[in-house]
Amino acid sequence: MPAPDGDGSAGEGGAQDLSQESIEGHVAAALRAVGAAGDLDELKQARLAHAGDRSPLALANRAIGGLPGSEKAAAGKLVGQARGKVNQALAARQVELEAERDERILVDEAMDLTVAPGRRPLGRRHVLTVTAERMADAMVGMGWEIAEGPQVEAEWFNFDALNFDKDHPARQMQDTFFVDPAKAGLVLRTHTSPVQARSLIERGVPLYVAVPGKTFRTDELDATHTPVFHQLEGLAIDEGLTMAHLKGTLDRLAEGMFGPGIVSRLRPAYFPFTEPSAEMDFRCFVCRGVATDPACRTCGGTGWIEWGGCGMVNQNVLRACGVDPDRYQGFAFGMGVERTAMFRHGIADMREMIEGDVRFNAQFGMEI
Amino acid sequence: MRVPVDWLGEYVALPEGVTGEQIAADLVAVGLEEEGLHTSGVGGPLVVGRVLELTPEEQKNGKTINWCQVDVGDSNGTGEPQGIVCGAHNFAVGDLVAVILPGGTLTTPQGPLTISARKTYGHISAGMICSVRELGIGEDHDRILVLPRLLPAEVVAGLSPGDDLIRVLGLDRETVEVNVTPDRGYCFSIRGIAREYSHSTGAAFTDPASLPVDPGVGEGYAVRLADDAPLEGVPGCDRYLARIVRGIDLTRTTPEWMARRLTEAGMRPIGLAVDVTNYVMLALGQPLHAFDLDTLTGPIVVRRTRPGERLTTLDDVDRALDPEDLLITDGGERILALAGVMGGEDGEVTPGQTTDVLIEAAHFDARTVGRTARRHRLSSEAAKRFERGVDPDVTAAAAQLAVDLLVEHGGGTADPAIADVDQRADRPAIDLDLTMATRYVGVNYSFDRVRALLTLIGCEVVDTQDPQRVSVLPPSWRPDLTDAPTLVEEVARVDGYDKIPSVVPRAVGGRGLTHAQRSRRAVATALAGQGLQEVLTYPFVGADRFDELGLPEDDPHRRTTRLANPLSDEAPLLRTALLQTLPEAVLRNVSRGSRDVALFEIDTVTQPAGELQAPVPGVGELPSDEVLAEIRAAVPAQPWHVAVMAAGQADRAGWWGRGRPVDVVDVVGWAHAVADALGVPVERRQAERAPFHPGRCVELVLADGTRVGWAGELHPQVVQRLGLPARTSAAELDLDVLVAASDHRTQVAPLSTHPLATSDVSLEVPRGVRYGDVEESLRAGAGELLEAIELFDVYTGDQVSQDRHSLAFRMHFRAPDRTLTTTEVNTARDAAVARASQDHGAVQR
Ligand SMILES: [Zn+2]
């Protein structure tokens, strides 16, 4: 620890030299000590030695009282200025050393965070639920509402209300899970279409509803089939709705799911609950149907990708739901959520979506 | 339906050089979706070669190969003989053979093979001398195709080395396979497909059913239609035509062209009689049946089944018949066939024995045939067609075609007499408003256009007094045209769906997602934000799962819904809780190496109340309110649930420090996160309930006591039985309860900005007293000034007696309108302690 410099130091009891040389010598010694302080501890020692109660300048200050009155003023001014100079230097050095210390702490505290993924990784939503929500949102954007219905459904709602005659081959082709006993009249819904009937009966017309939901068929699980899958159903019943409105709605939904300019195409088909009926394809979003790529792996070079079924709601369905088919008409469509997600994300194997492997989810963000 | 292109071309004018691919595309446009395109798999150059030299060379392995020089004319570009190594020996110098040159392709069991010149057995072999099997025209692998042994002499005479063989051997033949929707039975025939192709392209259609039909002289074989129990008022058979051909030799082989068409259409040639009936069915869509006339003893009687009757069908299954089954009988007694579905052993033709044949061409009711086929699980080609509707007008032509073919190729003579019992009802005409197509489709069709399109598909369009309305009689082959919208579809379809414009409708305007829908999204997002992964598990379980979860016998979760036809007999039940199916997802992740796994699922579960039955009142009519109520009531309750299941580490270990295993507090926290996400206050009650650890389970309830669900650590035995990781924890909540409780607009209380005063108390209480109960008493005693309270330490040890422990609570006080004084705070705190003392014998330390 450096001792106060200079030869002007003296014990409290000693006589004080209040000469200008002596005072300036104290100041010079103090400034040297302040300048030499390398850290805040050393500065603290310098402060004690040169500005503390027992420092030469403090003692000199105290000695002023013992001077004759005529000398007091001059000595007071001399010592006061000297102390001021020393305090100023101390304060300035304090700021410097604190800044140095703060900087050093930051350096010392530095951490290598290049491997620090966080203690708790974020979870994820499932791609199918998010896809279904995205589809539903596209419909809500068109002014539609979202309806829901039960998975274990009355046979009447699943089939008869939708004009599936009990002897019609189409009813047998649905590969239905039946609830035991058969007389219970219940099935696992084979499509989201029973919610059409429920909505019509419960809400009446005009009606614009979309129905996302889980559906069931007795298919064994493989790369392209699953006994439990998801559909999005759309139903619009109003005055004056046509197949052109159906196509417009599908085009808008296709754009919502696959990007601007992706439109739909209708092909004749058959479903008991629509007449006329159509299969809908959407324009391949990879090759966009440009003939330059006959080898497009997404669409097989056809330029179109199958999406689902649709059509004008069969008058028998309207009758079964208490709607006057001479006044109201409209359209319905349904497509697979799995298929939509598979095409959007290049999922080749259906099983990856249903196994619940957390590594599958981790590939997606919370919004897809 | 498989459609051989050359067969199709016989009924409709195909453009020169049209490919199967183009035909498939044209059929798609009218609603016949492409299922596949079948080709020979052989691609040229495949040419005639003459063997000039053949040098056998024995190899070290003992095998002898032939080094051949083959004249392939100019087809190889040089005119020089082609050097080819061949392993087969059934040909000789001078033979005409089929040579595939480099660049040609064959289809092997391993896939397509492109031929190239390659070094083998010390020679450059530039091509292959083909065997019949390599070309897909026979099974005999080793034998080289020597052309004169396969082709007629006059064809061979016209061949010289280098000539193309693809066409000569029929290897350019293509078969288009299309999917026929269940309303278009008539498209299960080449006739129907040809007609559709004509609609799609405008190509000229020649109806194969318009062949000269013998007028019929005399009575014909006795036939009686005796259906005394029609289904839904429709007789099982409304037309039965029988023709007889005598003196046929059924041992004669089916002509090669017919066998090939049958094969290409997907049917196996069996023998002349069966092949002819199948051929006619494929051509015209009319299923036929051939009976051995000599075995018949009485008239053909078509009737329903009598009680107790059985029949062994041709597939060798002895079947108990149903009263609804329609039968073809010999004299009303001996059963010959299930009408329109399958024959029995009696009356069948036997090649080498049968000489006189009775051909049945009948029209059976779709409903009757469909029910019988389904009842007996017999989906024959005949049933498939009758079930979807067969043209009742094609009967006579079909019988005629069969008779002609049998006479031509079996050498018999047809009886001039024809039995034709025709009891068909008139087809009803459909009243059509000519503006309807435009109103439905959104394309402006003129009245003339509508008339023309309907006429094109075979309808008779008759004017009425109203110029806007016509009466439309659909063609006989279109039983699916039953009302005006079905006619509208025909107009749109034949005019082209591609003409339909795209117009976004103006919906009436929705109110956005419902509160429940938004709530479920919020819960899912909150849980994912807490680090959980959303999964979707199958809802199928077995009863053993309830045992594994340790559910008591009377647990309501055991009351479940059973499937009549489950995918697996091990899992025939529907889950009543999501925790019943989440274990598989946890286990799958663990087995794949993801040991830190926190999953959640949001879905409905099935909770049946009792043995209700849902009526099934049928199509086209709104049931009465009572019936609708009955239907709705029979559908089991299916509340939305959310469940979580977690094991492994909650916090990751790393260079920053140790990890932290997931525990029951995490799970309770997640359960709270669900409630908090919806802004619903829930309370916890210590609970004992399967499948949870009896000492580590909490029930969550709303303020009014309504149960929300449970959270806890799984019972160690459950963990062990399911093979789950130790300390797996889980929770399951009823989302519907939470959603209902959250369905109100939260009203805010003003926030006080006055300072917070904090006071800690340590209370000794007996061990059995729940923390939550002590906290509740403190809360109640402290009054309105208490803003928050937390239990921050629990102490047991030397400082307190053995049967007690010390709970340290921190209480935060604040007033809305002033700074609290120390006296006020102390008073409130003392009141809280007094209440805890009074309620639980708590002693302040
Ligand atoms: Zn593409």
Domains of chain B: 2-32+182-201 (no CATH), 46-157 (2.40.50.140), 223-422 (3.50.40.10), 431-499 (3.30.56.10), 515-742 (3.30.930.10), 757-844 (3.30.70.380)
To the nearest whole Å, the CA of B389 is away from the closest chain A CA by 11
pLDDT in tens, B211-230: 999 998 888 999 999 999 99
Q: Which residue among B33, B534, B592 places its CB closest to the CB of A124?
A: B534
Q: Which of A108, A139, A158 is the last residue of a domain?
A: A108
Mean pLDDT score, B503-520 = 92
Q: Residue A88 has which token pair? A: 């100023």
Residues A85 and A199 in one domain: no
Residue B292, classed as helix, strand or coil, is strand
Residues A94 and A198 in one domain: no
Cβ pair B532:A164 closer than 8 A: no
| B112 CA → ligand 1 middle, Å | 24
Which positions in chain B touch A353 (Cβ < 8 Å)? Answer: 536
Residue B548 has pLDDT above 70, yes or no: yes
Say what the pLDDT of residue B256 is: 86
Which positions in chain B touch A255 (Cβ < 8 Å)? Answer: none
Say if A260 is an interface residue toward chain B (CB within 8 Å): no
| A303 CA → ligand 1 middle, Å | 5
To the nearest whole Å, the CA of B201 is away from the closest chain A CA by 15
Residues A175 and A45 in one domain: no
Q: Is residue A5 part of a domain?
A: no
Cβ pair A267:B33 closer than 8 A: yes
Residue B145 has pLDDT above 90, yes or no: no
Nearest C-alpha in A relative to B605: A151
Residue B64 has pLDDT above 60, yes or no: yes
To the nearest whole Å, the CA of A344 is away from the closest chain B CA by 19
Q: Which of A66, A81, A108 is the last residue of a domain?
A: A108
| A346 CA → ligand 1 middle, Å | 13
Residue B117 has pLDDT above 50, yes or no: yes
How many other CB atoms are found less than 10 A from the CB of residue B707? 14
Residues A27 and A175 in one domain: no
Residues A314 and A172 in one domain: yes
Which positions in chain B touch A167 (Cβ < 8 Å)? Answer: 366-367, 370-371
Which positions in chain B touch A183 (Cβ < 8 Å)? Answer: 613
ipTM: 0.86
Residue B714 has pLDDT above 70, yes or no: yes
How many other CB atoms are found less than 10 A from the CB of residue A105? 10
Which positions in chain A touch B535 (Cβ < 8 Å)? Answer: 126, 356, 361
Q: Is residue A114 part of a domain?
A: no
Nearest C-alpha in A relative to B377: A172
Cβ pair B33:A157 closer than 8 A: no
Distance of alpha carbon B337 from alpha carbon B329, whole angstroms: 7
Cβ pair B534:A146 closer than 8 A: no
Name the burial class of residue B213, with classes exposed (0-12), middle (13-18) and buried (19+) by CB atoms within 10 angstroms of its CB: middle
Residues A90 and A150 in one domain: no
* Torsions phi, psi for B2 (to 5 deg): -95, 130
Residues A194 and A280 in one domain: yes
Say if A121 is an interface residue toward chain B (CB within 8 Å): yes
Say what the pLDDT of residue A19 is: 86
Mean pLDDT score, B96-120 = 86
Contact B639, B607 (CB under 8 A): yes
Which domain, by its residues, includes A52?
A: 20-108
| A291 CA → ligand 1 middle, Å | 9
Q: Is residue A119 part of a domain?
A: no
Q: Which residue among A122, A268, A359 places its CB closest to the CB of B497?
A: A268
| Chain centre distance of CA B652 | 43
Say if A245 is an interface residue toward chain B (CB within 8 Å): yes
Cβ pair A122:B604 closer than 8 A: no
The secondary structure of residue A19, as a DSSP letter, is S
Give the CATH number of the domain where residue A338 resides.
3.30.930.10
Say if A177 is an interface residue toward chain B (CB within 8 Å): yes
Residue B444 has pLDDT above 70, yes or no: yes
Write the secondary structure of B253-271 as one string of H (helix), E (strand) and C (coil). Answer: CCCHHHHHHHHHCCCCCCC
Say if A94 is an interface residue toward chain B (CB within 8 Å): no
Q: Is residue A14 part of a domain?
A: no
Q: Is residue A13 part of a domain?
A: no
Mean pLDDT score, B629-654 = 95
Residues A100 and A225 in one domain: no
For residue B153, name the pLDDT band (cuts at 50, 70, 90). Answer: confident
To the nearest whole Å, the CA of B439 is away from the closest chain A CA by 7
pLDDT in tens, B725-755: 999 999 999 999 999 999 888 888 889 999 9
Residues A74 and A158 in one domain: no
Whole-model pTM: value is 0.85
Nearest C-alpha in A relative to B653: A119
Mean pLDDT score, B511-517 = 95
Say what the pLDDT of residue B766 is: 93
SS3 content of chain B, % helix, strand, coil (to 5): 30, 30, 45
Q: Is residue A259 part of a domain?
A: yes
To the nearest whole Å, the CA of A150 is away from the closest chain B CA by 7
Q: Is residue A115 part of a domain?
A: no
Residues A99 and A135 in one domain: no
Say if A152 is an interface residue toward chain B (CB within 8 Å): yes
pLDDT in tens, B670-712: 999 999 999 999 999 999 999 999 999 999 999 999 999 999 9
To the nearest whole Å, the CA of A102 is away from the closest chain B CA by 24
Nearest C-alpha in B relative to A356: B535
Name the burial class of residue A233, with classes exposed (0-12), middle (13-18) and buried (19+) by CB atoms within 10 angstroms of its CB: buried
pLDDT in tens, B480-495: 999 999 999 999 999 9
Average pLDDT, whole number, for chain B? Answer: 93
Tally of domains in chain A: 2
Say what the pLDDT of residue B23 is: 94
Say if A181 is an interface residue toward chain B (CB within 8 Å): yes
Say what the pLDDT of residue A4 is: 46
Local confidence pLDDT in tens for the 368 residues of chain A:
444 444 444 444 456 788 888 999 999 999 999 999 999 999 999 999 999 999 998 998 888 888 888 888 888 899 999 999 999 999 999 999 999 999 999 999 998 888 888 888 899 999 999 999 999 999 999 999 999 999 999 999 999 999 998 888 778 777 899 999 888 999 999 999 999 999 999 999 999 999 999 999 999 998 888 999 999 999 999 999 999 999 999 999 999 999 898 888 999 999 999 999 999 998 888 887 665 566 777 887 778 889 999 999 999 999 999 999 999 999 999 999 999 999 999 898 889 998 889 999 999 998 88
If you count residue pairs, one on A and one on B, with CB atoms under 8 Å apart, how many are there?
Answer: 313
pLDDT in tens, B570-591: 999 999 999 999 999 999 999 9
Cβ pair A116:B656 closer than 8 A: yes
Residues A230 and A269 in one domain: yes
* In chain A, alpha helices (H): 20-36, 40-51, 56-64, 69-108, 127-141, 155-158, 169-172, 194-203, 243-258, 315-320, 337-345, 351-354, 358-361
Residue B234, classed as helix, strand or coil, is strand
| A252 CA → ligand 1 middle, Å | 19
Strand ranges inside B374-501, DSSP E: 413-414, 419-422, 430-433, 460-463, 469-473
Of these ranges, B91-105, B503-517, B697-711, the one predicted with the greatest mean pLDDT is B697-711
Cβ pair A156:B500 closer than 8 A: no
Distance of alpha carbon B816 from alpha carbon B785, whole angstroms: 8
How many other CB atoms are found less than 10 A from the CB of residue B779? 17
Say what the pLDDT of residue B131 is: 85
Say what the pLDDT of residue B626 is: 95
Q: Which residue among A172, A275, A320 places its CB closest to the CB of B620?
A: A320
Q: Is residue A113 part of a domain?
A: no
To the nearest whole Å, the CA of A28 is away from the closest chain B CA by 51
Which positions in chain B touch A362 (Cβ < 8 Å)? Answer: 533
To the nearest whole Å, the CA of B635 is away from the closest chain A CA by 6
Mean pLDDT score, B296-311 = 95
Say if A368 is an interface residue toward chain B (CB within 8 Å): no
| A340 CA → ligand 1 middle, Å | 15
Distance of alpha carbon B105 from alpha carbon B130, whole angstroms: 11
Say what the pLDDT of residue A294 is: 65
To the nearest whole Å, the CA of B540 is away from the closest chain A CA by 10
To the nearest whole Å, the CA of B253 is away from the closest chain A CA by 37
Cis peptide upstream of residue B615 (ω within 30 degrees of 0): no
Residue B30, classed as helix, strand or coil, is coil
For residue B141, name the pLDDT band (cuts at 50, 70, 90). Answer: low
Which positions in chain B touch A300 (Cβ < 8 Å)? Answer: none
What part of A 320-339 touches B (C-beta under 8 Å)?
A: 320-322, 329
Cβ pair A238:B508 closer than 8 A: yes
Residue B475 has pLDDT above 90, yes or no: yes
Say what the pLDDT of residue A1 is: 42
Residues A91 and A240 in one domain: no
Task: Determine the residue among B324, B481, B502, B562 to mutate to test chain A binding: the one whose Cβ has the most chain A Cβ atoms within 10 Å.
Answer: B502
